[in-house]
Amino acid sequence: MAATAELLDPGRFGYLKPKDVARLAEAYRFSEAAHAGQTRQSGDPYISHPLAVAEILADWHLDGQTLMAALLHDVTEDTSVTKDEISDTFGRPVADLVDGVSKLDRIEFQSAEDAQAENFRKMLLAMARDVRVMLIKLADRLHNMRTLGAVPPAKRRRVARETMEIYAPIANRLGLNTLYHELQELAFTHLYPVRYKVLAKATKAARGNRREMIGRTLEAIKKKLAESAISAQVFGREKHVYSTYRKMIEKHLSFSEVHDIFGCRIIVKDVPSCYLALGALHALYKPIPGKFKDYIAIAKANGYQSIHTDLIGPYGVPVEVQIRTEQMHRLAESGVASHWMYKDDADRLSEVQKQTHRWLQSLLEIQHQSGDPQEFLEHVKVDLFPDEVYVFTPKGKILSLPRGATAVDFAYAVHTDIGNRCVAAKVNGELVPLRTELRNGDRVEIITASHAKPSAGWLQYVRTGKARSNIRHFLKTMQYEESAGLGERLLDQALRGLKSSLGEIDDAAWERVVRDSGARSREELLADIGLGKRLPAVVARRLMKKADPEETKAAGSVTIRGTEGMAVQLATCCRPIPGDAIVGSIKKGQGLVVHATECGAIVRSRRNEPDQWIDVEWDARITRLFQAAIHVTVENQRGVLAKVASEIAEAGSNIDSITMEEDRAVFTTMHFVLEVANRQHLARVMRALRRLPDVQKITRTRE
């Protein structure tokens, strides 16, 4: 077994403990046996692929578990081996890693649209909760890209496109810069083979022409730094073919315009030296204004740090310079993987910690706290986007929502109309309530009904601002319309008292009154009446140009739906419910307050200020619930409240509040505020309670 011998090659795997190398050889043999007889498109035995993936990961110095998982990563998908078998043989962590990689393989790339690709990348990252899963996946993709030539052209283009749009940006997000560029170059080669060939050739030619100039510039920089007593390594930097291409496209430049720039990288020992080197270079060559960027003070999102400056070099050739420390350089090249590669470097890492992005920082902190690398790895479950979930629409579009978002948020995210009309949802094909919280990867379908309306109750569980503001807006508009409707009814009643009616008022009268009152429209004036900001009798008299208040007498009654919102208040003294005889009090600034006619609190006012009172009645089509209060006197014993409460629920009513009298006597009284539909419903609840043997007395409260 030649390959096993290679596995043991200390040049590649020597950083592992001998015990881990032995386990690795075991995983290799297991995988080789499982894939026996399978070949790759190139004709090579299949095992060559997982081995190459493990080698890439070994170059990043990943731990033994990750390397074992890399060797086994295609076993559960392509052979009859199960996750349990891997778990039994190599342990749970390895099996979990293999499982994670297989899960990522199963998600299909859906759309080329840029925003979609971004969501897709985020979803992949979120689903790979352990960053090692993503590292295996990236190494897998890198090897597949390196060997893509053997694959049929149509598949080759699809894989290349996916690499360009999904995996290269993920590598970038994780700060794996070298990998990022290699994936891009490889994808570019397969997506645009002719363009690649032309540009690669031109790049090579240009390099040859400028060799002398480049050498002289590097020498001058080295000399200047040495004179300034800054110890530094200075490198010329090759532009990647794909970066050249992208710059040409994005900035509409010709090849020579893009390529006539010389890149140079300076690596120094510490941060102060970065700024000293910058000063020395600016003394050597003139800087190009506006081209200086300090990513040391403010790191890029993936943790990248450097100083960038553009100079005018010899012969007027622009020189792009990057200045960074050794530590920053490692992070720039290997990103998240540098934590495995340079574990011994704890002190310098802690320096980077302060400046790198939050997620990267949290990774390092765990390592710092636990100290034990093994324990660290066990705990590194990287949730890169902990506050987001990614879900699919029925058409396969991906939506990103805040964690905790529900089906209602989803509905509003798709379209405001869908949100306003949603009644239920299907998640992964199953019917669920609208309040259901969505999880990563859910496929969500919203069921709408044309008559459906948003409910105030939704506000309790929606998470997105879009859903919240749309629901609020809808409720407000609805309330405004209801108020205007009530205002119209109140005004008509007042007009009838003046022996007229709304139908008899002409447009000219309306226009005059609207203008005089300062309202913006007839509707606003009506809404003001409904909300109690204007008195209907006053407006009625103005419409009829009558000034004498004595003539006003109510006629007919105003119907109440209970959905008028603030415009109609049900008095809390008597808590009227549909079926009760009611009467309305209308005071400016209070709107319409509805009392039960038998309410004790209004007797005096009705006698002394009869003008304030108008006849009202319940609308026949009321569907909402109303509050009613009852006293229940029971035998004071254990469990009695539970019995009463369950009887209330049984009768289809909700309890809004309970107060109990502090009483040690044989009997005690409980006060309930219940939600009922109407008088009959309340009667049903009270009858049910009366049947309980513990209940002595029950009355509806009206005071």
Which spans of this chain sit near Mn ion (rule: CB under 5 A)? 74, 140
Q: Rounded to whole angstroms, how far apart are CA atoms 565 and 624? A: 12
Reported in sequence order, the residue ranges of 433-572 that DSSP labels E, i.e. its strands, are 444-448, 558-560, 568-570
Minimum distance from residue 129 beta carbon to Mn ion (Å): 20
Question: In Å, how far are 255, 300, 489 from 118, measured between CA atoms?
Answer: 29, 18, 55
Output the DSSP codes for 175-224: T-HHHHHHHHHHHHHHHSHHHHHHHHHHHHHHHHHHHHHHHHHHHHHHHH
Q: Which is nearer to Mn ion, 70 or 629 (CB)?
A: 70
**Beta carbons within 8 Å of 412's beta carbon, 6+ residues apart:** 418, 419, 462, 464, 466, 467, 470
Using alpha carbons only, what angle is made at residue 72 by residues 68 and 73, rounded to the nearest 5 degrees? 110
- Tokens standing for residue 44: 């090579």
> Which residues are identified as catalytic?
77-78
What b-and-e string marks burial along 540-575, b requiring 16 or more CB atoms within 10 Å of the CB?
A: bbbbbeeeeeeebebbbebebbbbbbebbbbbebbb
Q: Specify burial of residue 198 (Cβ count, 10 A radius: 0-12, 13-18, 19+).
A: middle
- Can you name the residues that pair with 695 across neighbouring β-strands? 634
Q: Which is nearer to Mn ion, 42 or 659 (CB)?
A: 42
> How many CB atoms neighbour CB 650 within 10 A?
10
- Tokens standing for residue 195: 């363009």
**Which strand (E) or helix (H) includes residue 302?**
none
**How many CA atoms does the CB half-sphere of 219 hold within 13 Å?**
7
Yes or no: say if 71 and 50 are a contact pair by the CB < 8 Å rule: yes
**Beta carbons within 8 Å of 212's beta carbon, 6+ residues apart:** none
